[in-house]
Every structure is written in C-alpha cells, then in structure tokens.
Amino acid sequence: MTRLVTRPSDLDLDSPGRRDYWVALEHDSIWGEHLIPLTVLVGANVEPGRGLVAFGSNHGNEYEGPVALKHLLREIKLDDVQGRIILVPVLNPSAFHAGTRESADDGVNLNRAFVEGAGVTAALASITHRIAAFVRDQIWPRVHVVIDLHSGGDVARFSPCASFHSLDDPEQLRVIEDTARWFGTPLIMVYQNQTPGLLPSEAERLGKITVGTELGWGRAVNAEGVRYGRQGVLAAAIHHGQLRGEIQPIAHHKAGTQRKVALVDRECFTVAPFAGHYEPLLECGASVECGDVVGWLHDFDHIDTEPWAARAGVAGVVVAQAWVAPIQRGQHIVVVGREC
C-alpha cells in the first residue's frame, strides 16, 4: 500500500477506486506538516453529496475509534463498496501523538473548533481550526452520514453509548436513532446541544445522519468499545447504501436490552463544589433514584471532615462518572440520564 502525502486541494475523493493519503496541513512552528491519515474508497454507484465518513481521534487520548477504523482499513474490500466511504482514523494528529485531549500545538479542543471563521480568520488560523476548515471544505460536501468515534479519555468513565442530539426534523432524528442502535451499545444517549463548536452539531445542522459515541475511558483500549465501533461503522455503511453486504445485530441491540437516556437538563449533572478526590460507589449503567448517593468526594486537606455525597440529580441511569480520582472544583463528577 502506498500512502501519498497530499495537500487538501489535491485530494481525489470522487473517482472510483481506493486511495490512501497523508493529508498535509502546514505545521505552525517548524518546517513541516501535520499528516492526517485518510483512506477513501469509491464504488461505481457513487452519487454527488452521498457517502459516509468515520472519524477517530477527534480527541487525542481516546483510542477505541482509531483502533476500530485501523481494522476497517484492512477489512473493507473495494469490490464491496457501492458509494463512497472515507475513513480518518486520526483526525487530530498533534493531540493523538501527545496523548492529550487538546492539540499539543495550539491547546485547542478540536471538538470545540467548528465555529464561525475557523481556519479562515487570522485569530482562528492555528492547526486545530484549520483541521475543522479541512473537514468543512473537503469532507462535508461529499457525505451524508457522519460517524464521530469518541471515548471518555481522562475526563470520564462511561457506560458505552452511541449518542446524538435532539433535532427538530423528526425523520432525520428517526434515521439517526436507528443508525445509533446498530452499534450494539448498552445505552443510546441524547445529550444537550448547548456547547459551541461541536463537530457532530455542525454535521446535524447540515442535515447529515450523525452519530457520536463514548466507547471507553482511561486512555486505554476497551475491547468491547472497539467491537461496538467497528459494528456501528459497518452497519451504517451497509444500511445507507455505501457498502454491499448484510450485517447482524450484536450485544444489547441483538438482545433488545438497549436503554435510551436523555442528558438535556442541568439536574442531570452533579458538580463538584470543591477540589478533592472522587470515590465511586456504583458502576456506570446502574439505575438510580433522584438523591441516591453515587460516590463520595473526599477533601484530604481537611482529613477529618466527612466526605461530600455526590448524589444523582434525577432518577435514571448513571451514564458517566469522573475517571481519575483528583477532581477540580466545578467538574461534573456524576452524570445521570433520564430514561426515555
């Protein structure tokens, strides 16, 4: 396999065939390039504006997505591709190689960088915003299905889930939820859409079938998370006409045990009132009532004080908890979703 170093303007994402690229974006501080691995497979029945893209490593310390997509680079055969499939295992190379959530070069969170002027105005011209501009200019016009594979990194431990936002278009929402269920995860999560600059939010606003995930935590590789990610991308490619074949449901989708939860109210998020160390008492995925104690926040600077009870703000399912023990004041340490 020959992987070509290519500027974004020279990519061929339309001609039938398979092409493997290093997409070169100029480095901000050295004579060099940030290289983004991108593989495109185009079949004979490709249609303008139709296709699937799957991203890994939007955040650099979340690894299930990159691993799942690296496997799919070998597994998807060009003869089975009907439309267009674009696989980007590492969208954020600076953050990925540093093992950090934000870019090591400009300190920007890529999943907050899809804002007006990104990669265009002088104030928003560093590498992370130029990656957002590359996605906008080269990827969005060619796809109608967007998969953004995330994990908890160091921020939180999740019950594995596929995720999306509530939308005004009922048909778009129906298709997105069906696409999300095929990942097989125990939870389907509908989350708040107030955070500016999210990649999935922009894709949804453009009318695309958009699914995110949380497939693991702790800067590790969760085997089940990789399995869910691989399944979800393949199922989406098949069901949305980009890949020939059949696929069977797995895990909680197959068993009919998926639970759908909503995280749209402030009450779903329990905030740490002081910096301390978090001790979980329940596993993610546990059912709770409003007011149940999910964990303790300890203050070791006041060693003789009682720990603070981190309580569920609503009745539902524990979707996520803080992963690392040291907690910042104001951090969300327990997240509970209402079943819906």
Per-residue pLDDT of the chain (340 residues; tens, 9 = 90+): 689 999 999 999 999 999 999 999 998 877 889 999 999 999 999 999 999 999 999 999 999 999 999 999 999 999 999 999 999 999 999 999 999 999 999 999 999 999 999 999 988 999 999 999 999 999 999 999 999 999 999 999 999 999 999 999 999 999 999 999 999 999 999 998 888 999 999 999 999 999 999 999 999 999 999 999 999 999 999 999 999 999 999 999 999 999 999 999 999 999 999 999 999 999 999 999 999 999 999 999 999 999 999 999 999 999 999 999 999 999 999 999 999 9
Assign residue 234 a region: left if phi > 0, alpha if psi is -120 to 50, beta otherwise? Answer: alpha
In the numeric block, the tokens 């009745």 are attached to: 315
CATH topology of domain 268-339: OB fold (Dihydrolipoamide Acetyltransferase, E2P) (2.40.50)
**Cβ neighbours of residue 131 under 8 Å, at least 6 residues apart?**
25, 34, 36, 91, 92, 110, 113, 119
What are the structural domain ranges in the chain?
3-263, 268-339
Q: Which pLDDT tens digit goes with each residue over 26-68?
A: 988 778 899 999 999 999 999 999 999 999 999 999 999 999 9
Structure tokens that stand for 296 in this block: 């303790």
Q: In terms of residues, how long is the chain?
A: 340
State how far the Cα of 271 lies from the Cα of 273, in Å rounded to an integer.
Answer: 6
Neighbours of 172 (CB within 10 A): 16
pLDDT at position 83: 98
Fold held by 3-263: Aminopeptidase (3.40.630)
> How many other C-beta atoms are found inside a 10 Å radius of the C-beta of residue 283?
11
